[in-house]
């Protein structure tokens, strides 16, 4: 994904490939009010346009209003590329437009013409365009002068034969002002600028439907806003991108920080260089840090000591996705000489958990401080596996007491109790699972441990268990982006990704706004 980072937004890679193709391309961006179309247009200029070759024509708000709404523009080279239609109109009336090539002295015009001829001779027979085609515009100008559109043509011509990017916000703003049919104006831009003048033109519509002009342009994307569990979610749909493969047709997006950010998969690429060892996050008073500073802030400091915390995992969420939230907490305990007792979920494996953890801390710490109760195993060669299938009730109790002693260590430190209730329910039934949960809650509060319960959809125990949980979060998948939101406490939806400045397993939460 283009320019993925915390300092700015991101654009779907398919859009990047589409606008980066040879020759000019036209793109319509449609959507209802407040969906983020203007933000997307500005992000395109920031991420894809070169400072001297891209322009933003705003017919809806003045440039100062844009700076107030998007403060980052003041620190960006974009400031010089924003063309306020109102100012352009007044500038034209008072003759304050910059001189066009035709208005330059004869010797300057001769130099420019000679340079363009030389560049044309160095390329193919036709050569790249050195002048903007104005055939379609000329027909429209005979009915009405359009100073801001003429100014855009002039500025694009000044950068030829280099490729220019023009964002018009909005199509309705221009066509309504000059009494044009939208179809004829789009056709003029398509023929003059896109097809004959090597220009990318992005046209923003103020409404969710394109009104039958889709066939005129090369690309069409829409931005929609909807609700998920009474929380706002935005999506970008890639409806048409000519000559471009669309690998993912829909992206969840956020406008956090005034930037347009398309959200993508969060799982790490472990083929990268070996990561540095985990450095533990300090625990605030009365809390255990989650290992994720954004999550700590969301919880008012972290998980409360002696609390039990539920994570309901949606059916389309993978293990790597929810490990993005859980692994930092596990590492923060292990690297402070505290341990973990775990009952893993169906689909999880002790090998995968160990492999994931030991990427960031020494294996002997995991082997010494982690105990995994495996109710299907009757024996094991691994010291960290407790083979519960071989024991009767009394022996099982003694085995878990021994495991608890190992994870607490000689200092008697608190530990994490990580329990996947789908495993407990399927092996023991819902009533036994609920009873064991109540025992775990009592033990957690008595010893000041940290309880983490993993729930899957459809469990019979869920309704009983959730009433006892101190916190309750759901981890879901939105357009291939792992996300989390709180039921208790109530929060907005956050996307889960890896911190680009630190890399895995350091996670960050970005609000979907």
Confidence of residue 58 (pLDDT cuts 50, 70, 90): confident
Tell me the mean pLDDT in the region 403-410: 91
Nearest C-alpha neighbor of 166 from the set 14, 73, 48: 48
> How would residue 94 be classed by pLDDT, with cut points 50, 70 and 90?
very low
The pLDDT mean for the chain works out to 84
| pLDDT(156) > 70 | yes
Q: How far is CA 494 from the centre of its chain?
A: 10
Percentage with pLDDT > 90 across the chain: 53
At residue 91, the pLDDT reads: 44
- Whether residue 438 has pLDDT greater than 60: yes
Query: Is the pLDDT higher at 390 or at 147?
Result: 147
Q: In terms of pLDDT, which residue wins out, 485 or 10? A: 485
Is it the case that residue 384 has pLDDT exceeding 80? Answer: yes
Mean pLDDT lowest among 23-27, 177-181, 394-398: 394-398
pLDDT for 347 beyond 60: yes
Per the listing, tokens 């300092």 go with 7
pLDDT for 144 equals 86
Compute the half-sphere exposure of residue 284: CA atoms within 13 Å on the CB side of its CA: 14
Q: What pLDDT digit, counting tens, does each position of 266-278 carry?
A: 555 544 567 789 9
- Residue in the block written with tokens 């472990």: 270
Task: Note every long-range contact of 232-236, with CB atoms under 8 Å and residues 24 or more positions apart, other chains counting.
Answer: 232/492, 232/493, 232/512, 232/513, 233/478, 233/493, 233/512, 234/35, 234/36, 234/512, 235/479, 236/12, 236/40, 236/262
Is pLDDT larger for residue 302 or for residue 458? 302
Residue 223 pairs with which residues in a beta bridge? 31, 236
- What are the strands, taking DSSP E only, across 337-459? 339-343, 370-374, 385-387, 415-420, 450-455
Percent of the chain with pLDDT over 70: 84
Residue 336, pLDDT above cutoff 60 = yes
Residue by residue, DSSP assigns 83-110 as EEHHHHHHHHHTT-SPP-GGGS-HHHHH
Same fold, 13-262 and 287-511: yes
281-321 pLDDT tens trace: 999 999 999 999 999 999 999 999 999 999 999 999 999 99
Q: For the purposes of burial, counting CB atoms within 10 Å of the CB of 74, is it exposed (0-12), middle (13-18) or buried (19 or more)?
A: exposed
pLDDT of residue 37: 92
Pairing between strand 308-313 and 471-478?
parallel
| In the block, residue with structure tokens 């991101």 | 10
CATH number belonging to domain 13-262? 3.40.50.300
Residues whose CB is less than 8 angstroms from the CB of residue 267 and which lie 6 or more positions away in sequence, other chains included: 318, 320, 321, 324
**Residue with the two structure tokens 């000679």:** 114
Query: Which CATH architecture does the domain made up of 287-511 adopt?
Result: 3-Layer(aba) Sandwich (3.40)
Could you list the beta-strand ranges (E) of 1-81.
26-31, 54-58
Return the domain boundaries, the chain. Answer: 13-262, 287-511
Predicted pLDDT at 69: 54
Q: How far apart are CA 415 and CA 406, in angstroms?
A: 10
**Confidence at 98, pLDDT banded by 50, 70, 90:** very low
Per-residue pLDDT, 194: 95
DSSP label at residue 225: E
Please report the pLDDT score of residue 110 as a whole number: 62
Q: How confident is the model at residue 8 (pLDDT cuts 50, 70, 90)?
A: low
Nearest alpha carbon to residue 45 among 159, 167, 163: 167
The 10s digit of each residue's pLDDT in 233-291 is 999 999 999 999 999 999 999 999 888 999 987 555 544 567 789 999 999 999 999 99
- Rounded CA-CA distance 486/465 in Å is 16
- Looking at residue 82, its pLDDT comes to 55
Confidence at residue 268, expressed as pLDDT on a 0 to 100 scale: 52
Residue with tokens 């956050």: 494
User: Helices 430-447 and 421-428 meet at what angle, rounded to 10?
Assistant: 140
Sheet holding 481-488, edge to edge: 385-387, 370-374, 339-343, 415-420, 450-455, 308-313, 471-478, 481-488, 494-498, 507-511
Write the CB contacts of 135 (distance below 8 Å, at least 6 apart in sequence): 191, 192
pTM for the complete prediction? 0.83
CA atoms within 13 A on the CB side of 371: 22
Q: 306 to each of 33, 319, 443, 446, 449, how far by Cα in Å? A: 46, 26, 9, 7, 5
Per residue in 110-142, pLDDT (tens digit) is 655 565 555 554 444 456 888 999 999 999 999
How far apart (Å, rounded) are the C-alpha atoms in residues 261 and 9? 4
């Amino acid at each position: 994904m283009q320019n993925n980072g915390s300092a700015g937004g991101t654009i779907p890679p398919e859009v990047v490939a589409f606008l980066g193709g040879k020759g000019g391309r036209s793109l319509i961006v449609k959507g209802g009010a407040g969906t983020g179309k203007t933000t997307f247009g500005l992000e395109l200029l920031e991420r894809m346009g070169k400072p001297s070759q891209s322009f933003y024509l705003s017919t809806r708000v003045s440039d100062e209003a844009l700076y107030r709404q998007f403060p980052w523009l003041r620190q960006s080279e974009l400031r010089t590329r924003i063309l306020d239609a109102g100012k352009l109109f007044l500038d034209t009336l008072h003759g304050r437009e910059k001189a066009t090539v035709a208005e330059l002295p004869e010797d300057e015009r001769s130099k420019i013409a000679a340079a363009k001829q030389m560049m044309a001779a160095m390329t193919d027979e036709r050569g790249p365009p050195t002048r903007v085609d104005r055939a379609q515009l000329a027909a429209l100008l005979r009915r009405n002068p359009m100073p801001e559109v003429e100014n855009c043509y002039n500025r694009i011509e000044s950068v030829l034969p280099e490729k220019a990017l023009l964002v018009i916000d909005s199509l309705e703003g221009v066509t309504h002002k000059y009494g044009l049919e939208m179809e004829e104006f789009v056709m003029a831009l398509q023929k003059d600028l896109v097809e004959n003048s090597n220009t990318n033109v992005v046209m923003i519509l103020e409404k969710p439907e394109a009104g039958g002009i889709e066939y005129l342009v090369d690309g069409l994307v829409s931005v929609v806003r909807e609700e998920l569990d009474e929380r706002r979610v935005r999506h970008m749909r890639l409806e048409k991108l000519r000559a471009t493969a669309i690998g993912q047709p829909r992206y969840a997006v956020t406008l956090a920080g005034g930037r347009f950010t398309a959200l993508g998969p969060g799982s790490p690429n472990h083929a990268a260089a070996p990561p540095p060892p985990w450095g533990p996050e300090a625990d605030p008073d009365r809390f255990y840090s989650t290992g994720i500073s954004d999550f700590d802030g969301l919880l008012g400091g972290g998980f409360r000591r002696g609390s039990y915390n539920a994570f309901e995992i949606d059916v389309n969420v993978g293990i790597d996705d929810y490990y993005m939230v859980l692994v930092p907490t596990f590492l923060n305990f292990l690297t402070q000489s505290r341990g973990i007792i775990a009952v893993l979920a169906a689909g999880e494996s002790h090998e995968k958990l160990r492999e994931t953890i030991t990427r960031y801390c020494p294996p002997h710490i995991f082997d010494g401080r982690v105990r995994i109760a495996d109710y299907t195993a009757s024996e094991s060669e691994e010291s960290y596996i407790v083979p519960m299938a071989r024991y009767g009730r009394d022996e099982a109790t003694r085995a878990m007491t021994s495991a608890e002693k190992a994870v607490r260590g000689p200092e008697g430190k608190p530990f994490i109790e990580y329990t996947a209730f789908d495993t407990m329910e399927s092996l023991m039934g819902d009533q036994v699972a609920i009873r064991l949960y109540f025992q775990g809650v009592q033990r957690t509060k008595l010893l000041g441990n940290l309880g983490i319960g993993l729930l899957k959809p459809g469990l019979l125990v869920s309704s009983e268990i959730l009433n006892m949980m101190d916190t309750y979060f759901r981890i879901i998948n939105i357009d291939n982006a792992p996300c989390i939101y709180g039921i208790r406490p109530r929060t907005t939806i956050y996307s889960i990704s890896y911190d680009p400045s630190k890399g895995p397993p350091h996670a960050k939460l970005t609000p979907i706004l």
